[in-house]
Amino acid sequence: MGTIRLTAAEATIRFLAAQRTEVAGRAVPLFGGVFAIFGHGNVAGLGPPLQAAGKRLPTFRAHNEQAMAHAAIAYAKTHGRRRMMACTTSIGPGATNMVTAAAVAHVNRLPVLFLPGDVFAGRGPDPVLQQVEPFGDPTVSANDCFRPVSRFFDRIARPEQILASLPAAVRVLTDPAECGPATIAFPQDVQTEALDVPEDFFAPRLHRIRAPEPDARDLAEAAAALSRAKRPLIIAGGGVKYAGAEAALAEFATAHGVPVAETQAGKGSLPWDHPRNAGAIGVTGAASANALAEAADLVLAIGTRLQDFTTGSRALFPQARLVGLNVAGFDAAKHDALPLVADAARGLVALTGALGGWQAPAAWTRRAEAATARWHATVARLKIGRALG
């Protein structure tokens, strides 16, 4: 196996351009491109290889760091976490302007690769313009602000470290349970330092998003809890859409007569006029969904992190037994839920098999349909009133 002599920046861009993902059975680039604002910290390092990459890894020049990072979040959400963007900036405020967006990506489990420039690892020119100078810790830079809002964080002190850091970052970005922002702080001198890179480091790599099946014992417990429920409710979160589980959800809700409420991220998990769609839930939700939540004795939370807007700060359905179907164990067990760790689509199919012919009591299903009909009528009256007014 041969090696190629490149700068760390050149190797980074070539590696990112070689990553692939599978979308609808077709291999496509994992990274849609790089949003960039150039300045001291990245213009002389990452700038030239980005220009040379051209359409293999297109660069989109931005004018506001926070805005471009939010656009990267929207890109990842639109592509169902199958594809993503990278963002690179200069050091100092150029980098810290992205921290708010990194926090948004972190809490919403959305993949973005942040490549902020960093101060000189060699410390020769210190202090450079806008360099943070902690009196007692010279290892700290402005990029340390990314640590608490990154699922993966690294600072490249030597060029050969990218050989381990880049694959580790991509693993987190493409892991359905750990998914979130990855930050690789890139000192401007290290970007331009050369290393011998193994040729196979640039071989195209296809990343398939895992879709784990539920544990048999957990499945049996979840099915048993559901089968005992008299007033079950499903809360559909963003994980339903990221797993491509919309059809599985519709089949489950229809077969078992269970109403579905949607979180903000889960909006569109069912068509708005689907017979089982009770509307949005929580602080910004519909009266129909919230009334059902207050009466429910069991809530099947699918692909949601159960944040305060969804749960009414845990006041909306405190009486209900929770079952958490989530690919992330951290979220599946929230609020003392009975965890069912699995891909949303595969978990729903497995639950249907375990439940057999069970259906929610007909009176509950009719109650949900009536509440939803009243809500739709209220919305229709408001639309007519606004049109006439």
In the predicted model, what is the mean pLDDT of residues 175-197? 97
Domains, the chain, in order of start with CATH, read 3-207 (3.40.50.970), 216-385 (3.40.50.1220)
The pLDDT of residue 36: 98
Q: Is pLDDT of 380 > 90?
A: no
Q: Is pLDDT of 389 > 80?
A: no
Q: Is pLDDT of 264 > 90?
A: yes
Whether the CB-CB separation of 36 and 219 falls below 8 Å is answered with no
Q: Is pLDDT of 178 > 70?
A: yes
Q: Is pLDDT of 59 > 70?
A: yes
Q: Is pLDDT of 379 > 90?
A: no
pLDDT above 90 as % of the chain: 93
Q: Is pLDDT of 383 > 80?
A: no
The pLDDT of residue 134: 86
Stated pTM of the model: 0.94
Taking all residues of the chain, what is their mean pLDDT, rounded to a whole number?
Answer: 96
The pLDDT of residue 74: 98
**Residue located via tokens 């009975």:** 338
Q: Is pLDDT of 197 > 70?
A: yes
Q: Is pLDDT of 132 > 80?
A: yes
Q: Is pLDDT of 387 > 80?
A: no
pLDDT digits 0-9 by tens, 7-43:
999 999 999 999 999 998 999 999 999 999 999 899 9
